[in-house]
Every structure is written in C-alpha cells, then in structure tokens.
Structure 1
Amino acid sequence: MNQQLPDHYRDILLGVGEDPDREGLLDTPKRAAKAMQYLCNGYQKSLEEVVNGALFASDNDEMVIVKDVELYSLCEHHLLPFIGKAHVAYIPTGKVLGLSKVARIVDMYARRLQIQENLTRQIAEAVQQVTSAAGVAVVIEAKHMCMMMRGVEKQNSVMTTSVMLGAFRESYNTRHEFLQLIGRSNQ
C-alpha cells in the first residue's frame, strides 16, 4: 500500500477535530486507505481481463437479461457511497457472454469514482463492445448517500438512469419488452 494514502487519512482525522492517536483511531488511517483501495479497485481492471474470453457461440438471437445485479460505488463529488442494482440486457448476434461476466463488468465500472449517469453508459458500451450485440440496454436504480446523509437528506429517493443502444433505442417494442421484464414499464 502506498504510505501517502494512510497519511492523508490521518490528516483528515486531524482536520475534522479528531485525535488520530487515540486508541480507537490508531489503525483507522491504514484501514480507511485499504478500504478505499478496495472500493476503487475497478481502476486496476480492464475489460479484457474481466471478460477473459468468456464469449460462447450461440444461435440465440432473443433478448438476454441479467436483472438485479447489486452495485456499490462512490460518488465522485462527495466520495460517499451510492448503492443499487443494475439491469443489463443484450440481443446476441452469434455469441453470448458468460453470465458472471455481466456482473463483473458492472463491478469493474462501479468500483471507480463515478456519477450514475456515466456508470450506466460505461456498462452499456462495454457489453456492446464485447458482444457486438444487436442492442444493449442498461437501467440502474440507486440510492445516493450524498443525498441521504447530507444536503437535502431525502431518505427515500431513488435515482434511475438508462442507456439504450442499437435495437433497444431504435425499436419501441424491444425497449418496451425489456422495461416490462424488469418491472419498469407501466404500459
């Protein structure tokens, strides 16, 4: 671990009026640094490493959906968590992606300092790049601690973002089917 990060956490403790030498805080700078490195480990991963060749030939050309993929990220504006779930769909064109790889792609981008809007697009574009799908759709629903713990303190607010590529953008019926299957369509 880079020693600068624990030193910075020690400075933060001093800055908020704490004594980093008191018993309960003695190892906090190291623990906080280790936690931050874990929470931001997406920077150390590449799409190629995450997918690891897990593309498989398939005649399926119907929608594939992975629902309710839990995600944990940090808001790049306040360094506070946002927690939610992603729904990812694609329409294969000869190859399908290993199921766990969808969740790993979500994690790789979520484990970076983010805003939800960008996270949604990054996941969609990564799935599109890897699969060459006829279309990709991603919807993320998340609660943001920066809105719940500070500022307006709205405890029940949920932010929803979506990115629709290819067939999901071009076809109302395809988009509607996806939204209906993930329980987001009221029509």
Structure 2
Amino acid sequence: MDAVIKKLMPKADYMEKPATDRPSQAEVEAAVRTLLRWTGDNPDREGLVDTPKRVAKAFREMFSGYDMCPSEELGRTFEEVAGYDDLVLIKDINFHSHCEHHMVPIIGKAHVGYLPDGKVVGLSKIARVVDIFAHRLQTQEAMTAQIANVIQDVLNPRGVAVMIEAEHMCMAMRGIRKQGSTTLTSTFTGAFKDSPEEQIRFLTMVRSGSAHGF
C-alpha cells in the first residue's frame, strides 16, 4: 500500500512548491474568450465583457495551493504537551477542490488524525494543509494520500489517519448525473496501518456526533 501511495504523489511533489510557468494575464483572458465562443455565446456582449478578467482572478484564488508549500505550514511544532501521546483528531474540515479530469468542483470534508511522538502542531495548520492540497487540480485518492504523507514525513508521528468524503460534480453535472452520490477514501500510516483497533477507534471518533451530508 505504501508503494501505491508514493506512486500517487511522489515526495518531491507534495513537499515542495510546484514549479509553474504561467502565461500572461492577456493570454489567460484570451483563452477564456475562446472558451466563451466555444459555448456558443458572444464574449463581447455586456454580461461577458469582463468575464475573462473575473475568471482569471477566480482561478488564481481557487488554485492558490500551487503557490504554497504544505510542509512549511507544519514547520512549527510544540513539545510542551504534558506527556500527551494519544490521538489528535481534527474532523469535518470542509473543503472545495476541482477534479483534474473535468475541472469541475469536488465538495467535501476531510478528517485527519495523528498519534504524536513528543510534539504536536497547531490544529489550524492541519486544516491549512487540507486547503493547500484542495486548491490544486485533484483526484480524491491522490489528495487523501498527499495529506497523510506530508504529515507523516514532516511531523514524524507514530501514525496518521486520513479520511475524505466528497461529492464530485463531474458525476452530478455531467455523464451519469447522479446527484448526492458520495465518494469515501481513507489511508493509514504507522500505528494506524499496523493496528485495526486504531483504525476502528479513528473511524468511531469521526462518526461520533457528526451529521454528514453534502
């Protein structure tokens, strides 16, 4: 399983800021105009005149994860934990991402747990890592592995557990058009991978008191 996870996202890709070669603003706006024409609409009509500029701005926001390094978010840790070494769970982390196959939204929640080994990280940093990976073109399987791998590699805890449940608009808006269908993925490292009991505990805590649905 570890080999499969690494194949989904090589270490260099999730640890470092991806190299980008962005086109100019003018090139982006021209590309959007071409797409508007492709839909059959007129990019020069009043309602669409400023759409290329708006789309370019929206893309920079929705895909801002390419400008951020998740390992840097996890860089500051705290060792004054009074000996605490049990499960830390941050659940129901809402996110919006985009499918790399059709560039339509993925809307879901991530649940992230880890077993600290002498140090912990700020809770908001875990949520930030989820957001960084979500703000890139994604598959849910790869995103699940990316989150687990970077936490394991940077914090070096005794184990990491990640579960993501999401609705994919590529299924709801096109093709099979099945609204409300949810995809669930999970991955475990270290003590979670080695212990079914720890996996069950993680899943039980995720489900306790939660009302899931999108």
Normalising TM by the smaller chain, what interval? over 0.9
Give the Å deviation of 1:4: 1.3
Aligned to 2:185: 161
Distance 1:65 1:143 in 2: 22
Aligned to 1:55: 77
Aligned to 1:143: 167
Q: Which runs of 5+ in 2 are unaligned?
A: 1-23, 209-214
Bigger fraction of residues in strand: 1
Partner amino acid, structure 2, of 1:28? T
Aligned to 1:76: 100
Aligned to 1:6: 29
Give the Å deviation of 1:83: 0.4
Give the Å deviation of 1:47: 2.2
Matches within 5 A, 1:1-187: 2-51=25-74, 53-57=75-79, 58=81, 59-183=83-207
Distance 1:111 1:84 in 2: 13
Distance 2:173 2:30 in 1: 26
Give the Å deviation of 1:115: 0.3
Distance 1:89 1:133 in 2: 10
Give the Å deviation of 1:183: 1.1
Distance 1:122 1:48 in 2: 11
Contact conserved, 2:71 with 2:150, CA < 8 A, in 1?
no
Runs (4+) off by over 4 Å: none
Q: Which runs of 5+ in 1 are unaligned?
A: none
Partner amino acid, structure 1, of 2:108? G
- The TM-score normalised by the length of structure 1 is 0.95
Partner amino acid, structure 1, of 2:57? K
Contact conserved, 2:65 with 2:135, CA < 8 A, in 1?
yes
Contact conserved, 2:148 with 2:162, CA < 8 A, in 1?
yes
Distance 2:27 2:64 in 1: 17
Q: Percent identical across equivalent pairs?
A: 48
How many residues get paired? 183
